[in-house]
A = this chain, B = another copy of it.
Amino acid sequence: MSEPLVASRTALDALLEDLEACDGLDGMRLVMRRLRDHFAVRHMAYLWLDATGLQSACDTYSEAWRTRYLDHLYLRVDPVVTGCYQRFRPVDWKRLDWSSRAARAFQADALAHGLGSQGFSVPIHGPHGQFALFSANDGRDDDAWARFSAAHGRDLILLAHFLHRKAIEIEPERRPETGQALSPREIDAMTMLAMGHSRAQVASALSISEHTLRVYIEGARFKLGAMNTTHAVARAIGRGLIVV
C-alpha cells in the first residue's frame, strides 16, 4: 500500500512536542510544513476565524491562493468553513454541500490554484465562540483518501487541539479578561434575562419587586462595565459568568 503507515506513537509525539516548543506564527508555519511532509499530503492549513473574517492563519497554500481567497471573500462561500462551523465531528470534504453555484465556482477556482479535490477538516471550537479549522488536502483518489482518513483521523484531531492551543498562546490579547464576580441574585437576574424574560417576569419568578430586580440589573451592569442590559447579558455570557 502506498499510503504512509499509521503514525507511530513516538512520531506523533515528536510532532506535538515540536509544536508546543515552537515560537510564534513563523514557528507554526515551519511545523505545518513538517506536518505536510510527514503525512505526505499536498496541503495542510490551520485557520482561525472570527466574526470579522480571518483572525490568524498558518498554511502551506500558495501566496496566490491565499490572497485570492481573501479578495474573493471565499470565507463566506467555502463549504468547508460554513459546513464545519456548526459541526463537532471532523468531516470529509466530499460530505459537505457543494451544490450552490458559488460553492462550485469556488471549488473550480481552488483546483485551478493547485489544491487537490480531497480534503479532511477538523473543526475546533473554543470558549467565547472561538472557531478554527485544521484541514488536510490532497489529490489522491477516493479509496486512498478514505484509507488516509481512517489511518490518521485521530492524529489530526489531536494536532488540531494543539495547533489551536498554540494559536491562543500567540494571541494573548484574545485571552479572557478577569472581571468582578456577580452576586448570586445578580446571576439569577442575568440568567433569566438571557432566557428572554422581561423584568416583570423575572421579578415575579424571583418573588421580589421589580424595583429590587432593577437594583440587581444595575449592579450587574456596573460591575460588567456595560452600557445597557443587553450589553451586560452579552458580557456575562462572554465571560462565562452565566451559561446559556
Write the residues of chain A forming the contact surface with B, with a CB cutoff of 8 angstroms: 6, 8-9, 16, 49-51, 76, 82, 85-89, 123, 125-131, 154, 157-158, 161, 164-165, 168, 176, 179, 184, 187, 191, 193-198, 226-231, 233-235, 237-240, 242-244
Looking at A51, A85, A184, the one whose CB has the most chain B CB atoms below 10 A away is A51
Complex formed: what's the CA distance from A130 to B130 in Å? Answer: 12
Which B residues are CB-close (under 8 A) to A195? 51, 231, 234
Residues of chain B within 8 A (CB-CB) of A194 are 51, 230-231, 234
Residue of chain B at shortest CB distance from A237: B237
Contacts of A125 in B (CB 8 A): 125-127, 130, 240
Asked if A131 and B243 sit within 8 Å, CB to CB, the answer is yes
Task: List the B side residues contacting A130 at CB < 8 Å.
Answer: 88, 125, 243
With a cutoff of 8 Å between Cβ atoms, the chain B residues found around residue A158 in the complex are: 154, 157-158
Contact status B126-A231, CB under 8 Å: no
Residues of B near A89 (CB, < 8 A) are 165, 168
Identify the closest chain B residue to A9 (Cβ): B9
A126 proximity list for chain B (CB < 8 A): 88, 125
Q: How far is the CA of A193 from the CA of B234 in the complex (A)?
A: 9
CA A6 – CA B13 in complex, angstroms? 12
| Interface core residue of A9, A165, A226 (most chain B CB under 10 Å) | A9
Residues of chain B with a CB closer than 8 A to A82's CB:
240
Most chain-B CB neighbours within 10 Å: which of A127, A168, A229, A243? A243
Contact of A240 with B9 at beta-carbon distance under 8 Å, contacts A176-B86, A187-B76, A233-B233 already known: no
Residue contact A240 to B196, C-beta cutoff 8 Å: no
Distance of A50 Cα from B156 Cα, bound (Å): 28
Q: A88-B130, A198-B227 are in contact. List 11 more A-B contacts (CB 8 A).
A: A51-B187, A51-B191, A51-B194, A51-B243, A86-B176, A86-B239, A125-B126, A125-B127, A128-B243, A157-B158, A238-B244
Q: How far is the CB of A225 from chain B (nearest CB, A)?
A: 9
Partner of A193, one of B9, B179, B184, B230: B230
Q: A9-B6, A161-B157, A229-B230 are in contact. Are A237 and B129 (CB under 8 A)?
A: yes
